[in-house]
Amino acid sequence: MRGVLAVLGLLGFGAQGEEAVWEIGPRSLAPPAAASAALREAVAQTPTPALAEWASVQPRTAEEWRALGASFAGAPDLDAMASAAGVSIEADTIADVAVYRVMPAAGAKPPHEEHIFLYVHGGAYVFGGGPAAVSEAVVISAMAGIPSVAIDYRMPPDHPFPAAVDDTEAVYRQLLETREPSTIAIGGTSAGGGLTLAAVHRFKAVGLPVPGALYLGTPWADLTDASDSLHTNEGIDRILVTYDGMLASAAKLYAGEAEPTHALISPVYGDFTGFPPTYLVTGTRDMLLSDTARVHRKLRVAGVVADLNVYEGLSHAEYAFLVGSPEYQQTYGELAQFLATHLR
């Protein structure tokens, strides 16, 4: 082994004792040759991510946040979405929290007759509310044959932490009035994955039973900028592009007066003992690769069943965007298998 070790470059180095910051030179990067054709083509059609431009997006006031949100494309057409996916979508409230109920048109598929997927959307804790809050839940309900409830939780600028966690707890508590925790899965992508983890930390703290399974799509589990892939994949993740700018600003806005290392804000810092079986997805170009891998390690060290899946060349949450791609089919197809295995 020592021979190998030497050739691999571990020996003979030694800038002892100080934190070495590396200066990494410029490079050319081709599209990921071994990704699916759909992903490779999508990357090939994307110009080099404009790092400085993305880093300059730093809303500071409630008005600036609202203006940024208003600049995005409009809300999805729920009727068209429901019809295309073969589900029904209904706006409702549970425990005074706005939700959308999703039901497969053919009804729940075995073994999910008595199961439910509690979905929490992504969008950096600031965006993705309203009708957009149900989009990924529609995919999950359609592919797994499971009814969903998508929570349109309160968000900044009006409602920073802990409003999102409070709303998720309120809906979960209400569901527990009529069903066993083992019949409920909770999950979401990005901030939705982080909120899923924060909610389970909260359930444990207030003495609620944990649900039967979790889905963490590239969870934003650390809002403190400590994850290495935020930096190694900066400018390489074509979705998030850089932490500086919108993400850093959103982290600050969401935390409000609270410490960003609080386990209900950056749930990777919590205790994962007693968590339910958890399915995780990320990609090699994902700026939240580290968040996802770190959560997976914490779960495994705590003895939890945790299933990590990493897609070649995939940026943040692209499995959700590349509808019908192999990355999309595998992510939701295997989530369906996971739910069928672990919900009771």
- Write out the binding residues for its own copies, residues 69-108 only, by CB under 8 A: 69, 72-76
Q: In what order do the strands lie in the sheet with 184-189?
A: 87-94, 97-104, 148-151, 116-120, 184-189, 213-217, 278-283, 306-311
Rank residues 98 and 175 by Cβ distance to its own copies and give the closer one: 98
H/E/C letters for each residue in 121-161? CCCCCCCCCHHHHHHHHHHHHHHHCCCEEEECCCCCCCCCC
- Out of 45, 61, 80, 177, which residue is the one contacting its own copies (CB under 8 A)? 45
Token output for 259:
């410490």
37 binds its own copies (CB under 8 A): no
157, 297, 304, 340: which one binds its own copies (CB under 8 A): 297
- Least spacing, CB of residue 93 vs its own copies, in Å: 21
1 lies in the binding site for its own copies (CB under 8 A): yes
324 sits near its own copies (criterion: CB under 8 A): no
User: Which residue in the set 114, 228, 259, 271 belongs to the binding site for its own copies (CB under 8 A)?
Assistant: 228
Q: How far apart are CA 321 and CA 47, in angstroms?
A: 18
Per-residue CA distances from 343 to 114, 186, 216, 243 (Å):
10, 11, 16, 36
CA distances from 105 to 135, 143, 183 (A): 16, 12, 20
Q: Give CB contacts under 8 A, 24+ apart, made by 53-57.
A: 54/241, 54/242, 54/244, 54/245, 54/246, 55/242, 55/244, 55/245, 56/245, 57/245, 57/246, 57/249
Cα Rg, the chain, nearest whole Å: 20
| Closer CB to its own copies, 175 or 339, in the complex | 339
Q: Could you tell me the smallest distance in angstroms from the CB atom of residue 80 to its own copies? A: 12
State how beta strands 116-120 and 148-151 pair.
parallel
φ, ψ of residue 304 to 5 degrees: the values are -90, 145
| Spatial distance between the Cα atoms of 118 and 110, rounded to a whole number of angstroms | 18
- Give the whole-angstrom CA distance, residue 66 versus residue 2: 58
Residue 330 binds its own copies, judged by CB under 8 A: yes
- The piece of 83-91, 177-185, 198-206, 287-295 that touches its own copies (CB under 8 A) is 287-295
Nearer to its own copies, 183 or 284 (CB): 284
Which lies closer to its own copies via its Cβ, residue 33 or residue 206? 33
Least distance (Å) between residue 276 CB and its own copies: 18
User: Closest distance between its own copies and the C-beta of residue 320, in Å?
Assistant: 7
Binding-residue pattern over the window 186 to 215 for its own copies, x denoting contact by CB under 8 A? ------------------------------
Site for its own copies contains 31 (CB under 8 A): yes
CB of 104 to its own copies, least distance (A): 19
CB of 209 to its own copies, least distance (A): 27
260 is a site residue for its own copies (CB under 8 A): no
| Of 73 and 206, CB closest to its own copies | 73
CB of 143 to its own copies, least distance (A): 15
